[in-house]
Structure 1
Amino acid sequence: MKGIVLDRSLPSKIEFREVEESPIQPNQVRVSIKAAALNHRDEWCRQGLYPNISDGIILGSDGAGVISALGSEVTQWKVGDEVIINPALFWGNDQRAQSKDFQIIGMPTHGTLANSILVSSDRIHPKPKHLNWEAAAALPLAGLTAFRALVYQGNVQKSDKVLITGFGGGVAQFAAQFAIHYGAEVYVSSSREQKIKKAIELGAKAGFNYKERNWTEEALSVCGGFDLIIDGAAGDGLNDLIKVSRPGGRIVIYGATMGNPGKLEARRIFWNQLKIIGSTMGSDEDFQAMLDFVNEKQVHPIIDQVFRFEEAEQAFDRMKAGSQMGKIVLVP
């Protein structure tokens, strides 16, 4: 088979090349990939910024396809079934947090950016019928991360005023759509006006350009503050989020693309009874709940651009530039 492999000896750090196919194990299925999607972790692996990376591994955590082979112990699926892949491995039995053995498909195990992938049969779910291959492939990792942050950790309510920061990225677009479908009053932030416009088209009430010095004052004047904030950046901007939180509000952080904050305004946190909550991908229970919600509400992932596997370097460069609106998808 062929896959997009990490190889840090190359100028591009990745190459679409032949990889030896492993034999199928009794509890596994082989999925012929119809579409796969990028996440920031794929580009971080290419840059050498992700822990425990190894050359020779096929990247990619998101994928959808058709079952092409079954292990001898698999009885609940059949060849030809259309599926999406849950990329979370070894979450464990505690819904509150992942186990120490937790992994994500695509590093250190082979990922979805390939013609086919072997996965345990408990990692696959029926593809939502209302989604095409590209949209289905865009859903798993970002959709799961957004759903857990918003629903399990954030405990979103219809009465909530919700801010989704960094709208345009994969998790943020899902968090905004999910919150809108939950009936919350949704706002977004972004550094690009066209992304804010897109969010409003989807049903957000308004958006704020976080590059503007007075965006926090504007947000407070528009809505009076937020009950729930979903953020993937952290950094020094976390103090702005504390500033625009209502008393008793919740800030859920699922990433730190801007690094750690240089300082934290602790007095605002305790005086306003704020909750700052960490979140990451999610459990099998979260994944099933997310899928049920997507099917019930007929949620459609936003696709930025579709590339061929042979165009992997262009796709990764687009992810690195951060200019995408929605998910970057690759197809064989």
Structure 2
Amino acid sequence: MKAIVHKGKDGLEGLSIQDMKAPSVSSNEVKVKVKAAGLNRRDLAVVTKRHKAEDPALIPGSDAAGIVEEVGEDVTRFSVGDEVIVNPGLGWKERSEAPPEGFEIVGLPYHGTFAEYYTCTEDHVEKKPDHLSFEEAAVLPLAALTAYRALFSRGDLSEGQTVMLPGIGSGVLTYALLFAKARGARVIVTSRSEEKLNKALELGADVAISTSSDWTEELEGEQVDLLLESIGQATFEKSLGIIRKGGTIVTFGATTEDQVSINIRSFFYGQYKLIGSTMGSAEELRAMLAYVAEHDIKPQLDQMFRMDQYQEAFQYLQNSKNFGKIGFIID
């Protein structure tokens, strides 16, 4: 089978298209003919952090949608021909405060989804939402699950609250915008890009301001109930300054420096809540899929690339050119 493979060289230079042995199916597994696969920042991190030339060949990729082509003899949930999506999480079944020991994400250390076929146990695939194309469904799982858990499981967002999304444009934050509006929340976004601010307003954002501006001045003193922080050092102090007393920051990433500093006295006097979040469980994935179906939500799909455009796709993501999700058309 054809696959995007990382081997032999550092970073993006180690990527190539190779012929790999198609995976076989054991008794409790399903074999999915991949139609499309979503590209995430995790995939970029995986290929840029594998620096040893002796590392074995790895097929990256955490997201995919396709058609079940073969099932093991003990499989009961799916049949040949079913349209499915891949659960990017391994070993996290029920919703919990933190992932269990041994939790992994598809695409490292085991082969991922950037290939013509992907095989996994039947409890690691779910039915594809009927209203989504394969391309739309392929870019859904990891980023949408991350947004769903951050907003609802960790952030406890409710109707009428105000949520702020600094750095709008990523897949996670565009999902967060769509999910929050479906819940009836007021949404404030920031970006350094005027184009992305305008696109966010078109997508339903209530207020859009520059990331580099004085947020308190721009918002005329308005404070927010919940803020999703994924930038890190560059915006963290501003994020703390815009949250109402007793409000919540949920952090799930750091596109700038990881280390941040806070005035701990101001923090505890403000009764703020700072909560970490990482992707989500299979239970939350199913809840997210039901939410998407109930509200007829479709991903903000920036563009899809052919497999042989892997360098262009990874560089496009690395340069943060996307507004919403990107991925690969496999078939």
* TM-score, structure 1 normalization: 0.95
1:224 to 219, 222, 227: 222
Q: How does 1:68-217 map to 2 (within 5 A)?
A: 68-91=69-92, 93=94, 95-212=96-213, 214-217=214-217
Q: What is the CA-CA distance between 1:211 and the residue it aligns to?
A: 2.1
Deviations 1:267-288 (A, max 9, x none): 2211111100000000111111
Q: What's the C-alpha RMSD, in Å, of the aligned pairs?
A: 1.8
Which one-letter code corresponds to 1:111 in the other structure?
A: G
| CA distance in structure 2 between the partners assigned to 1:94 and 1:156 by the alignment | 17
| CA distance in structure 2 between the partners assigned to 1:80 and 1:94 by the alignment | 30
Which one-letter code corresponds to 2:82 in the other structure?
A: D
Q: How does 1:48-59 map to 2 (within 5 A)?
A: 48=49, 54-59=55-60
Which one-letter code corresponds to 1:190 in the other structure?
A: S
| CA distance in structure 2 between the partners assigned to 1:55 and 1:215 by the alignment | 47
Q: What is the CA-CA distance between 1:135 and the residue it aligns to?
A: 0.6
Deviations 1:221-262 (A, max 9, x none): 1x6110000121121421110000011100000111212244
| CA distance in structure 2 between the partners assigned to 1:191 and 1:94 by the alignment | 35
CA contact (8 A) 1:36 1:330 kept: yes
Which one-letter code corresponds to 2:104 in the other structure?
A: Q
| CA distance in structure 1 between the partners assigned to 2:151 and 2:86 by the alignment | 21
Length, aligned pairs only: 328
2:41 aligned residue = 40
CA 1:50–1:65 in structure 2 vs 1: closer, same or farther (change >3 Å)? farther
1:311 aligned residue = 309
Which one-letter code corresponds to 1:9 in the other structure?
A: K
Q: What is the CA-CA distance between 1:25 and the residue it aligns to?
A: 1.0
* TM-score, structure 2 normalization: 0.95
| CA distance in structure 2 between the partners assigned to 1:114 and 1:19 by the alignment | 9
State the SS of the aligned residue for 2:123: helix
| CA distance in structure 2 between the partners assigned to 1:92 and 1:147 by the alignment | 16
Q: What is the CA-CA distance between 1:218 and the residue it aligns to?
A: 1.0
Q: What is the CA-CA distance between 1:24 and the residue it aligns to?
A: 0.9
Which one-letter code corresponds to 1:18 in the other structure?
A: D
CA contact (8 A) 1:36 1:112 kept: yes
CA 1:94–1:63 in structure 2 vs 1: closer, same or farther (change >3 Å)? closer
| CA distance in structure 2 between the partners assigned to 1:76 and 1:306 by the alignment | 30
Stretches of structure 2 that go unaligned for 5 or more consecutive residues are: none
CA 1:50–1:203 in structure 2 vs 1: closer, same or farther (change >3 Å)? farther
| CA distance in structure 2 between the partners assigned to 1:257 and 1:55 by the alignment | 28
Runs of 4+ in 1 over 6 A off after TM superposition: none
CA contact (8 A) 2:107 2:113 kept: yes
2:290 aligned residue = 292
Q: What is the CA-CA distance between 1:77 and the residue it aligns to?
A: 1.0
Q: What is the CA-CA distance between 1:92 and the residue it aligns to?
A: 5.3
| CA distance in structure 1 between the partners assigned to 2:30 and 2:157 by the alignment | 36
Stretches of structure 1 that go unaligned for 5 or more consecutive residues are: none
Q: What is the CA-CA distance between 1:99 and the residue it aligns to?
A: 1.3
Which one-letter code corresponds to 1:179 in the other structure?
A: A
| CA distance in structure 2 between the partners assigned to 1:54 and 1:232 by the alignment | 30
Which one-letter code corresponds to 2:3 in the other structure?
A: G
CA contact (8 A) 2:157 2:226 kept: yes
1:320 to 318, 321, 326: 318
Instruction: Say if 2:7 is the partner of 1:7.
Output: yes
CA contact (8 A) 1:236 1:260 kept: no
Which one-letter code corresponds to 2:305 in the other structure?
A: F
| CA distance in structure 1 between the partners assigned to 2:190 and 2:85 by the alignment | 30
Q: What is the CA-CA distance between 1:123 and the residue it aligns to?
A: 1.0
Which one-letter code corresponds to 2:217 in the other structure?
A: E
State the SS of the aligned residue for 1:43: helix
Q: What is the CA-CA distance between 1:319 and the residue it aligns to?
A: 0.8
Pick which of 256-265 and 314-323 moved more. Answer: 256-265
Which one-letter code corresponds to 1:147 in the other structure?
A: Y
